[in-house]
Amino acid sequence: MKIIIKFIKNLSLFKKMMAAYSFIGLILIIISILLCSISSLKFIREENTSIAQRNLSLIVDNMSSKINTINKFSQLILANQTVQNLLNDKKQFTSIQGIKTLNPLFLSFLAMVPDVSSITVFNNEGNYFGHDIYKPVKYSFSQLNEAPWYDSVINLDGYYKILLNAGYPLPLNGNKNVVSVIRSVYDLNKQSSFLGMLVINLDETFFTNCFNNENDNSTYITVIDKSGRSIISGERNVLYSTKLITEGINLNKKKKKISACMAIPETEWYVVQIISYDSDIKTMIYSNKMFIILPIIIVILLFIVTIVMKYLITKPIHELTKAMQSHQVGKYFKDDDISRKDEIGVLIRTYNSMLTSLKEEGIRKREAELYALQMQVKPHFLYNTIDTARALVLSGNSKGANTVLLSLGQFYRDSICGDSEIILLRNEIDMIKNYLTIQKIRYGDLFEVEYDIDETLLSKSVLKLILQPIVENALYHGIRESGHAGIIKIELWKEAEYFYLFVADNGVGISEDKRKQLMEGRFSQKDKKCVKGEGIGLCGTIDRLKLFYHIDNPLQIESSLGNGTKVIIKLMEI
């Protein structure tokens, strides 16, 4: 992965743009194909599911209408007076005369409804008479109450029951199944008087005619019972999933088939439609070729845009790079094309501003370095200290003179020794202690010093001579100018990844305007003075901290007239 990233970084901007646009184009093509395929496949499934449900609804409505017609037809037979009279007269029902009477009547009934294959009426003793357009149906019971459907039909109180093959496991009509409509017969004059039962057998075409025209290469419709077995002859060994009955819709993504199921009212059967959408997917794939062409066109347009962008962006960048390279050898170059309003124009103007800032920063850095050298020798401090030591010797205070000279030596040892600008905090603090020891002997009770130092931080490294200018300002421009004795506090502590140096005095303080000038680093380049009364020392320290630590505000000043001054230096570990 790192090798790939390095390779990409080394490519020119034009090649990166070409690679990026090519990658975007490839992703666009893949996403377009995926989205189109997913949405099309979803549409195909939803549309086929909707078609299946509409077809099943129409088929079931048609079947319900036919069942209702058979219901009315059976009521017509039950209400026939001849049938009622013969069922009431048991002897007449089984006599030759009774058969001759029923024969033409049943033939007329059969002619009324084409779907009816046979009509059979039973009296309550199990004797029956019937007519079948194919061949007579033989029932295997001797008494009516031995019929497999007798109890369930009796419990319906005259309502009909629909069974396959009158409840027998094998077809009653040769190799074809029949749909049997069975209902109890009661005396019309005495509703509670049970006379027998009526069995009307319908050819399976009663159902299949409702959907045969719908079956083709992609669609198949059949009727199943609650166990999932087809009731259509020739399909008795075909078993469908019972999950289809409970869920209504089943999607087989692997076989690309949708199965839908709907119950037939008044029965325990269900119409099932199976639709294969494989051919629809093939059609979809062919039509999706148009969606692939569109992203290819977009990729070509992106390539053209890349060529144009090369001349609008990369060429000005190369020119600007040449200008920057000229700066590297010490020659400043400013691009004249600063009137552009786009990002390239902003980049050019920023470059020009950077050159100006570099010049100013270089001047300030050199001045700060010069100040650091000046601080290392500080002639007036040396002269004053020697005068103090001489006065002590003349007055007989050899011990005081020894202390002054010892502190002076240690001060210059820490400030002058070594070429590095880096020093340990221990040495920086010791330098201040030696400096203030000398000043204390000079000024006596003018000031006191309080230290609060975190000893664990003394081994940290800092920029040299950052405390001395601040402490000097606190003494000379804070306490001495106040006209009364004061206190200088010096503290060191750590917070998070930063540690802080703190110098405070209770002297005259400074105005808000002067405080802002110091914080913003505003000083005159002409006379090399920062702010009147402060000298170059404090501003030089601020510049050195900014340049060295790359912190925008490394030093905070809190002060007001008459209330002293607090200076907080924010430092990072080197």
DSSP H stretches of helix in 79-120: 81-88, 90-94, 96-112
Rounded to an integer, the average pLDDT of 145-158 is: 88
Q: Using pLDDT thresholds of 50, 70 and 90, give the confidence band for residue 504.
A: very high
With a cut of 80, say whether residue 441 has pLDDT above it: yes
CATH pick for 40-295 out of 3.40.50.960, 3.20.20.70, 1.10.1670.10, 3.30.450.20: 3.30.450.20
How many whole angstroms separate alpha carbon 182 and alpha carbon 150? 9
Q: What top-level class would CATH report for the domain 376-524+532-572?
A: alpha beta
pLDDT in tens, 345-381: 677 777 777 777 766 766 566 555 655 555 555 677 7
Helices (H), 113-194: 150-154
Residue 339: pLDDT band (50, 70, 90) is low
DSSP bridge partners of 486:
447
Pairing relation of β-strands 161-164 and 178-186?
A: antiparallel
Q: Do 404 and 388 contact (CB within 8 A), yes or no?
A: yes
**Selected residue with higher pLDDT from 454 and 239:** 454
Q: Model confidence over 107-145: pLDDT tens digits? A: 899 889 888 988 999 988 888 888 888 777 677 777 888
Q: Select the more confidently predicted residue: 150 or 347.
A: 150
Q: Give the per-residue pLDDT at 525.
A: 45
Dist CA 255 CA 525 (whole Å): 87
What's the mean pLDDT in 233-258? 77
| Rg of the chain on CA atoms, in Å | 55
Q: How many CB atoms lie within 10 A of CB 46?
A: 11
pLDDT at 367: 57
Q: Tell me: pLDDT of 332 over 50.
A: no
285 has pLDDT over 90: no
Provide the pairing of β-strand 555-559 with 565-572.
Answer: antiparallel
Query: Which residue in this structure is represented by tokens 């058969």?
Result: 99
The reported pLDDT for the residue numbered 303 is 76
Nearest to 164 by CA among 56, 264, 77: 264
Higher pLDDT, 116 or 341: 116
Q: Quote the tokens at residue 522.
A: 């505003």
- Answer whether residue 344 shows pLDDT above 80: no
Is 108 in a helix, a strand, or coil? helix
- Whole-number Å distance between alpha carbons of 238 and 255: 18
CA angle, residues 499, 501, 506, in degrees to nearest 5? 150
Comparing 56 with 523, the larger pLDDT belongs to 56
| Least confident stretch, 14-18, 87-91, 328-332 | 328-332
- pLDDT beyond 70 at 534: no
> Closest by alpha carbon to 146, among 126, 129, 162?
126
- pLDDT band for 289, please (50, 70, 90 cuts): low
- The residue that leads in pLDDT, 225 or 294, is 225
533: pLDDT confidence band, cut at 50, 70 and 90? very low
DSSP-based three-state secondary structure for 383: helix
Give the per-residue pLDDT at 26. 78
Tokens read off for 517? 């000038």
**Count of all residues that appear for the chain in the document:** 574
Half-sphere exposure of 396 (CA within 13 A, CB side): 0
CA distance 385 to 391: 10
Does the pLDDT of residue 306 top 80, yes or no? no
Instruction: Give CA separation, 231 vs 174, 218, 236, 465, 467, in Å.
Output: 15, 21, 6, 105, 104
Residue 229: predicted pLDDT: 83
Distance, CA of 44 to CA of 55 (rounded, Å): 16
d(CA 250, CA 258): 6
191-225: pLDDT as tens digits: 778 899 999 998 888 888 888 887 777 888 888 88
d(CA 218, CA 503): 92
State the chain's maximal CA–CA distance in angstroms.
Answer: 172
Tokens (6 digits) for 208? 């299949």
Secondary structure element (H or E) that encloses residue 372, with its range = helix 343-377
Cα 438 to Cα 314, 385, 394, 450, 482: the distances in Å are 64, 7, 17, 16, 21
Cβ proximity of 427 and 460 under 8 Å:
no
pLDDT category at 328 given cuts 50, 70, 90 is very low
How would residue 338 be classed by pLDDT, with cut points 50, 70 and 90?
low
Range 551-558, long-range pairs (CB < 8 A, 24+ positions): 553/519, 555/519, 556/519, 557/510, 557/515, 557/518, 557/519
Whole-number Å distance between alpha carbons of 390 and 352: 58
Residue type at 426 in one-letter notation: R
User: Are 536 and 557 contacting, i.e. CB atoms less than 8 angstroms apart?
Assistant: no
Give me the residue spans of the domains in the chain.
Answer: 40-295, 376-524+532-572
Q: Of 154-158, 256-260, 289-293, which range is least confident? A: 289-293
